Chains A and B, each alone.
Chain A
Amino acid sequence: AQKVTQAQTEISVVEKEDVTLDCVYETRDTTYYLFWYKQPPSGELVFLIRRNSFDEQNEISGRYSWNFQKSTSSFNFTITASQVVDSAVYFCALVRRSGANSKLTFGKGITLSVRP
């Protein structure tokens, strides 16, 4: 069985602060993908990143960065210099890399509020 745990439920920061969203996962699969999605108040889930279980290199995209550590089964997401537009619910998710079962298993999400 697969499981994604996002222990933080709500985070509130002031604009320009850095913030890290934690994600811990459980899987018996040796190959899998990890994802982060953003769900702004409008409701539509927006894809942010997909990471292959074989690739533990950290990734940076603008103000966003991701730290994947297989040893601790964690895939954390950091927003640098947060902005009000970053306010949203952020979901971490997991999917098997092969086979017929390609459903996403989501965490419960972290509500991020960025105050001006």
Chain B
Amino acid sequence: GAGVSQTPSNKVTEKGKYVELRCDPISGHTALYWYRQSLGQGPEFLIYFQGTGAADDSGLPNDRFFAVRPEGSVSTLKIQRTERGDSAVYLCASGERPSSEQFFGPGTRLTVL
């Protein structure tokens, strides 16, 4: 079956611009997670959805970051007024249910110039 997919694979933008990153989870998985991975570090949690609702958004660094999952499947991570420090690989993962194995997508590499 299909795994988690993320688009685009690479995104280059200029400081101050708005970007959207998309995640398609494994079909039937109710739990969806966004992580951010900087060079040489482990992934860091951003936000977790159970169904359509954000069950935990404690990892979002500030109010420039927002994510939605309107129909309980595809999710979009939105970053406003991007800054150079936002450059990282943004990873999406999905799981059958909370605390089950999380399966990761290939990530979106975001570069803010």
A interface residues with partner B (beta carbon < 8 Å): 4, 33, 35, 37, 42-47, 50, 91, 93, 95-109
Known: A47-B104, A98-B98; 15 extra A-B contacts, CB below 8 A, are A43-B107, A44-B107, A46-B104, A47-B103, A50-B101, A100-B50, A100-B55, A100-B56, A101-B48, A102-B56, A102-B95, A102-B98, A104-B45, A107-B42, A108-B41
Q: Which of A37, A47, A98, A102 has the most CB of B within 10 A?
A: A102
Inter-chain contact B103/A106, CB cutoff 8 Å: no
B59 smallest CB distance to A (angstroms): 7
Is the C-beta of B91 less than 8 angstroms from some C-beta in chain A?
yes
Say yes or no: B59 contacts A103, CB within 8 Å.
Answer: yes
Interface centre among B35, B43, B48, B100 (most CB of A within 10 A): B43
Instruction: Report which residue of B50, B95, B102, B103 has the largest number of chain A beta carbons within 10 angstroms of its beta carbon.
Output: B102
B67 within 8 A of A: no
